[in-house]
Structure 1
Amino acid sequence: MITTLLVQTDRILHNIELLQKHMDGAGVIPDLSANACGLGDVAVGQMLARAGCRLFAVSRLEEAERLLNAIAGIQVLLLTPYSSEAEAVRIVQRDIIATVGSNEAAVLLSGVAGRMGKKARCHVRFDLGNGTSGYLPADAAKAAKALKFLPNLSIDGVYGILTGEEKEKQARMQYETFQKALQALGREKIRYGMTHIASALAGLKFPWARMDAVRMGVSLTGRLPVRDKWGLKKVGRVVTEIVDIRWLPKGSRIPGGKIHRATRAATLPVGYADGLFIEGGRGISKRKRYCEFQGKRLQVLGRPGYTSTMVDVTDVPCNAGDQISFEVRPYAVHSGMRREYV
């Protein structure tokens, strides 16, 4: 068989529906950045569009273009501000909703749109202290004075980033800073449409932060950076096959140590290069590692290799060619692995 990442579509739909129920009317914007956190941006976007989603977010211009090429009738918000003329032209041509985070970018985008006889749609981004771009809140008044004189910009929204990992006091301070930035825009009579600062986690933890919408990225995979008490379902299993079985005598050395009894070991053609046992930004998990075979949990022998792993099958009848699966974080699985949507 071809080693495959299984993507359980019913779990993705469960996760977005669960978040929608908790948001008390605020919208949910699926953030399909980084290939939808490894799930496959086009396939997931098509599925969510069929479920009624119309506004998506991405981080790179080519991601926005890919979604628009594949899915009719959607809008795409580009979360990264682009400040080169060539890219501004592409943004305006495709009616992508741009992010504006500086007066220079705003002037460029408006000028390009004017020359093309169009209005450029955009959201204004403020850096609340945990982002990588955006207007500084202290410059909100200056930004407002500049933005109101750019006739070829249609400001459809304003946003910042609240991850939800902050303590509530810090999150409140960031929220209040954002509110002051909105007030600065309001004093210049700028109509700015929707407002959004919260990730899914921030929206779940801080009801006051939900505003008009929350953005849902890695939580589409059923994972949060804190213990989940809301009922998300984890998405993603790598399925592979046993390629070889052998007996190892007691005392045999294996990656990460040695074995303490005669062991029947199955070799699998997957490793941490395929996302196995990768824990966020912390690298390979040091906890005991397991996989699943016919509903039974099997322990990994030693440390997984880059492209291969051994499993203890001493007490389990199995043969080369039998399938074994691992729970994985989809964003750790390389893009070259086949995805199957089930």
Structure 2
Amino acid sequence: MSDAPFEPAPGCVTIDLDALADNWLRLARRAAPGRSGAVVKADAYGIGLDKAGPALWSAGARVFFVAQLAEGLAARRFLPKEAVIYVLNGLEKDADPADYARNALRPAIGSAEELQRWSELAARHGHTSPSALHLDTGMSRLGFESLAALKDAMARCGAAIGADLLMSHFVSAEIPGDPINAEQIALFDAARAAFPDLPASLANSSGMFLAAQPIYDLARPGYALYGGNPTPAARNPMRPVATLTVAIQQTRWIEAGETCGYNAQWTARRRSRLATLLAGYADGLPRGAGASDAKPGAEIVIAGRRCPLVGRASMDLCVADVTDLPEEAAGPGVRAEFFGAAVDLDDFASRSGTIGYQVLTGLGRRYRREYFSPRLATRQEA
């Protein structure tokens, strides 16, 4: 148990570390005979790197990916020294390359300038440190802009950089029929042929489920680990990891024709009972999660029944229509599930006008985090 004092909070994110581990194991089996890493950037997609990292390590993950140097330093604190940690954003301009090497962090090098800085570090220290080579195959975001550019930079200083991974990133893997997937695989295959001795990594969560199975040597699942659906057009094969519950503060009746929320965006079509819940956009709730007169919104579960959010979410509050529930089922203190086992994360996000990635990574600091592992009979609060 945690030694930290219990701090009550109207919102709680309950995190099932066993489900997280099971999701990684499922993906690891799918990656075979290659390996599966684990992407733990953005504080492990909002659920807490300090707990998620060790849980994934215990499940068998040995290769981890973060976005920034600061995240890499945090991951190094929470993971065993044997853990391999890649920094996807590469060598940050204002960072000292020695900070990466000193902490055994492997930058994903994506430009000639980064390659030069990394090779200069090797020259100063008389030895190389591992890194990845990042080739852009269509994202137009990070990475060498072409195989020719990568080969040219490697010809000038490649021997000194100690690269141990070749990687790229899918643009549209969640849409299996998008032709850009095949185009990217072809470009990446050409790069693999140019650097046959380097292990290769292309597949993100959705990429692992493409028919072409472009997993290669190392997959990089992120969202799917945390319960997100890597196959949006089909049933979610992953277990839910995070469950968000929020307490009701107050209920009231309004008459047909009255409105709810800022700018009077939702109008009651009947006499309605509304429940005000203690979460708003300051807690990461999408402002457009509630229904308006022009569109439906997200649905949450109270007392086992789905109830629509209505009106615009405000900074600290949102409102649900609980007219169809017995009055005693939706009173002050009763908790509503926003997503989890009863409400699919991606369903909640899409009805809110956003994506599950944003919902997870935007979970506010005012929510209490509660971690549990039924297998170990442990429960921790943070």
One fold, TM greater than 0.5? yes
Q: Which SS does the other structure have where 2:195 is aligned?
A: helix
Judging changes above 3 Å, is the alpha-carbon distance between structure 1 residues 335 and 212 closer, same or farther for their aligned structure 2 residues? farther
2:215 corresponds to which of 210, 221, 232: 210
Q: Deviations over 1:206-231 (max 9, x none)?
A: 34411001111112222237223462
CA contact (8 A) 1:92 1:113 kept: no
2:248 corresponds to which of 238, 242, 249: 242
Q: Which SS does the other structure have where 1:209 is aligned?
A: coil
Partner of 1:33: 41
Q: Which SS does the other structure have where 1:46 is aligned?
A: helix
Is 1:91 the counterpart of 2:91 in the alignment?
A: no
Partners in 2 of 1:95 and 1:170 — Cα distance?
35
One-letter identity of the residue aligned with 2:370? E
Compare 71-80 and 55-64 and name the one that shifted more: 71-80
Partner of 2:25: 17
CA contact (8 A) 2:69 2:92 kept: no
Partner of 1:144: 154
CA contact (8 A) 2:119 2:157 kept: no
CA contact (8 A) 1:28 1:216 kept: yes
Judging changes above 3 Å, is the alpha-carbon distance between structure 1 residues 143 and 185 closer, same or farther for their aligned structure 2 residues? farther
Partner of 1:176: 186
Partner of 2:202: 197
CA contact (8 A) 1:240 1:324 kept: yes
Partner of 2:320: 311
CA contact (8 A) 2:25 2:59 kept: no
Question: Where does 1:76-87 land on structure 2 (aligned, <5 Å)?
Answer: 76-84=85-93, 86-87=95-96
1:275 corresponds to which of 262, 281, 284: 284
Q: Which runs of 5+ in 2 are unaligned?
A: 1-7, 340-344, 346-358, 373-382
Q: Which SS does the other structure have where 1:66 is aligned?
A: helix
One-letter identity of the residue aligned with 1:64? G
Q: Which SS does the other structure have where 1:311 is aligned?
A: strand
One-letter identity of the residue aligned with 1:218? Y
Partners in 1 of 2:68 and 2:309 — Cα distance?
37
One-letter identity of the residue aligned with 1:234? P
One-letter identity of the residue aligned with 2:183? M
Deviation of residue 91 (structure 1)? Answer: 0.3
1:323 corresponds to which of 327, 330, 335: 335
Deviation of residue 12 (structure 1)? Answer: 2.0
Deviation of residue 284 (structure 1)? Answer: 4.2
Deviation of residue 11 (structure 1)? Answer: 2.6
Partners in 2 of 1:9 and 1:336 — Cα distance?
21
CA contact (8 A) 2:247 2:334 kept: yes
Q: Deviations over 1:89-145 (max 9, x none)?
A: 110111111211223212211222332344221011111011412112232331331
Compare 289-298 and 117-126 and name the one that shifted more: 289-298
Partner of 1:125: 134
Q: TM-score, normalised by structure 1?
A: 0.87
Judging changes above 3 Å, is the alpha-carbon distance between structure 1 residues 309 and 107 closer, same or farther for their aligned structure 2 residues? same
CA contact (8 A) 2:289 2:297 kept: no
One-letter identity of the residue aligned with 1:228? A
CA contact (8 A) 1:141 1:185 kept: no
Partners in 2 of 1:131 and 1:218 — Cα distance?
21
Q: Which SS does the other structure have where 1:162 is aligned?
A: coil
Q: Which SS does the other structure have where 1:234 is aligned?
A: coil
Q: Deviations over 1:158-194 (max 9, x none)?
A: 11112414646432222222222233335xxxx43x2
Judging changes above 3 Å, is the alpha-carbon distance between structure 1 residues 75 and 65 closer, same or farther for their aligned structure 2 residues? same
CA contact (8 A) 1:4 1:340 kept: yes
One-letter identity of the residue aligned with 1:337? Y
Is 1:154 the counterpart of 2:162 in the alignment?
A: yes
1:110 corresponds to which of 116, 119, 127: 119
Deviation of residue 308 (structure 1)? Answer: 0.9
Counting aligned pairs with the same residue, the percent is: 22
Partners in 1 of 2:20 and 2:256 — Cα distance?
44
One-letter identity of the residue aligned with 1:20? A
